[in-house]
């Protein structure tokens, strides 16, 4: 018998993250879970221990960071199913004031990170409101659309705005009505209710925001845009994310059609990527899938990841606050791949290791 999931998670705390929760499922049924650490371990950037350090548990709520992109993608694909937008429609259809001079950039380019947009853009120095959105949406392209793969938060923020205009509703409402409410994801939301704070893991220490961020989105741009964005901002638990992952594992789970899910998971063969790129989803990203070379999913800057492997019927959820108290903590890639390797071993041993 090899190392258990409990062993892997406990060994990672507090060196890699102050709190960590993981779940492994086979064919949608959890076969292993583990939780370790403290929701708030540090009081400052110097590493002073906090006076009150509540324990993490299976229901701990984490800032998902870029796992939000998967939810945005599902929203966009659901709108495409309804004919409210087309994947190969120009972005200028919905944003003529910002993309009218860039008619070749399509929704599909945004989903595959091939629009030629840069990775990010800081906007918090602008006055709150439309000025920040205008700065993001007017971000110049650095390459022609389709020429190269550049992972872009700007593109996913833009995609979220396109979804809002196409649907006539805010992105948080779209995520709620199209994903979290139908799936019963009660702990998944943008701008979490203050009542959830006792279950939320802290992230980075930011003096300008009054200390260790907790219950507010960690990502600076998402925070500057009000906490709701296509690239970051969602909070969730491992249990909720396991239900969400069923969309990918089962061909839609009643949220998307099998055809849309298949298109999402198809390799779009973009140049320059270190992994295969689907619509909003990474395929075979070595930083998260470990030995599961055909698995797909996404990671998040705060220390989160979601991986689905159809070949072995595996779903792997890992949630941590690797950025607490600072973002320079090492080891998150090793932890992600160790959890994936543990999942594969459990599967080969019969799923109950």
Residues 227-249 pLDDT 10s: 999 999 999 999 999 999 999 99
Q: Is residue 316 part of a domain?
A: yes
Q: Is residue 150 part of a domain?
A: yes
Region 65-82 average pLDDT: 98
Q: Is the pLDDT of residue 37 over 80?
A: yes
pLDDT tens-digit series, residues 180-223: 999 999 999 999 999 999 999 999 999 999 999 999 999 999 99
Of 51, 56, 322, the C-alpha closest to 204 is 322
For 187-286, list the strands marked E by DSSP: 189-190, 205-206, 211-212, 234-236, 276-277, 282-283
Give dist(CA 165, CA 276) in Å, integer.
30
Domain range enclosing 132: 5-348
| DSSP strands (E only) in 230-277 | 234-236, 276-277
Inside any domain, residue 353: no
What is the C-alpha separation between 63 and 321, in angstroms, rounded?
8
> Is 353's pLDDT higher than 60?
no
CATH number at residue 252: 3.40.710.10
Asked if residue 229 is part of any domain, the answer here is: yes
Q: Are 76 and 163 in contact (CB under 8 A)?
A: yes
Prediction pTM value: 0.97
Angle at 21 between CA 18 and CA 26, to 5 degrees: 155
Q: Write the pLDDT tens digit of every residue in 80-121.
A: 999 999 999 999 999 999 999 999 999 999 999 999 999 999
The pLDDT assigned to 2 comes to 62
Average pLDDT, the chain: 96
Contact present, 316 and 343 (Cβ < 8 Å): yes
What is the token pair recorded at 138?
A: 């007017």
- Mean pLDDT of all residues in 6-16: 97
Q: How many domains does the chain have?
A: 1
């Amino acid at each position: 018998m090899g190392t258990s999931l409990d062993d892997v998670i406990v060994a990672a705390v507090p060196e890699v993250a102050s709190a960590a929760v993981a779940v492994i499922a086979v064919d949608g049924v959890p076969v292993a879970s583990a939780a370790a650490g403290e929701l708030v371990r540090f009081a400052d950037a110097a590493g002073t221990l906090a006076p009150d350090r509540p324990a993490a548990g299976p229901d701990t709520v984490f800032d998902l960071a870029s796992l939000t992109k998967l939810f945005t993608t599902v929203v966009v694909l659901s709108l495409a199913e309804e004919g409210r937008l087309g994947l190969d429609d120009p972005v200028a259809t919905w944003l003529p004031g910002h993309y009218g001079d860039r008619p070749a950039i399509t929704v599909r380019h945004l989903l595959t990170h091939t629009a030629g947009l840069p990775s990010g853009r800081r906007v918090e120095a602008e006055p709150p409101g439309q000025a920040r959105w205008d700065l993001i949406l007017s971000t110049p392209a650095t390459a022609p659309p389709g020429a190269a793969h550049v992972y872009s938060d700007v593109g996913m923020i833009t995609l979220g705005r396109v979804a809002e205009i196409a649907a006539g509703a805010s992105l948080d409402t779209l995520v709620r009505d199209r994903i979290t409410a139908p799936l019963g994801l009660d702990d998944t939301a943008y701008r979490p209710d203050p009542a959830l704070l006792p279950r939320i893991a802290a992230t980075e220490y930011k003096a300008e925001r009054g200390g260790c961020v907790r219950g507010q989105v960690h990502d600076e741009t998402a925070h500057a845009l009000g906490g709701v964005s296509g690239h970051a901002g969602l909070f969730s638990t491992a249990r909720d994310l396991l239900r969400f992952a069923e969309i990918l594992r089962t061909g839609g789970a009643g949220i998307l059609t099998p055809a849309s899910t298949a298109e999402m998971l198809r390799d779009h063969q973009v140049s320059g990527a270190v992994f295969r790129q689907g619509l909003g989803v990474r395929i075979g990203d070595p930083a998260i899938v470990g030995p599961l070379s055909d698995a797909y999913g996404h990671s998040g800057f705060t220390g989160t990841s979601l991986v689905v492997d159809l070949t072995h019927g595996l779903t792997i959820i890992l949630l941590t606050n690797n950025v607490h108290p600072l973002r320079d903590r090492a080891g998150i890639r090793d932890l992600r791949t160790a959890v994936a390797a543990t999942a594969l071993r459990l599967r080969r041993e019969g799923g109950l290791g």
